[in-house]
Amino acid sequence: MCLKKKHIHIPLDNLDPAKFQKDNKLTLETPIYLLCRHGIRSTTAAERLMSFGFKNVYVVEGGIEYCKPHGLVERLSTSRSISIEEQIRIGAGSIVLVGVFLGTFIHHLFYIVPAFIGLGLIVSGITGWCGMSLLLEKMPWNKR
């Protein structure tokens, strides 16, 4: 028997097992393979699905980053999305650049802006909590 293979992209924050089952017409015995960038979020998703009652939930170890060099993820998506981590780098770099420009050419108090971003990066590095990532995850382009 050949099952139709389907790729579904759901952000972890939006994963509602009951809705997932209903929307995709799945039984609790349907095999589900989960894949994320490194395997951390897919493990959390697997726990959520199994607590709902799904019995055949599998996490692809190593995630997309492990699978890429082996040619296993090219078929998943034709469009490349920018990861949250990359968006943070772009956003923080842009804000720092604008703050330095404004501080140099407009008023020296604008140097507070890059200092604030630097402080945020230090806090994120020490605690693992990143306010910018929480904000970016809520953006419409990151909802799939």
User: What is the CATH T-level fold of the domain 12-70, as seen in this structure?
Assistant: Oxidized Rhodanese; domain 1 (3.40.250)
Q: How many CA atoms lie within 13 A of 10 on its CB side?
A: 21
- On whether the pTM is more than 0.75, the answer is no
pLDDT tens for 110-132 read 999 999 999 999 999 999 889 99
Q: Is the pLDDT of residue 78 over 60?
A: no
| Portion of the chain with pLDDT greater than 70, in percent | 86
CA distance 93 to 102: 14
Give CA–CA dist 97/27, Å, rounded: 51
Closest CA to 121 of 108, 132, 135: 132
- Stretch 30-59: mean pLDDT: 86
3-state secondary structure of 93: helix
pLDDT of residue 56 exceeding 80, the answer is yes
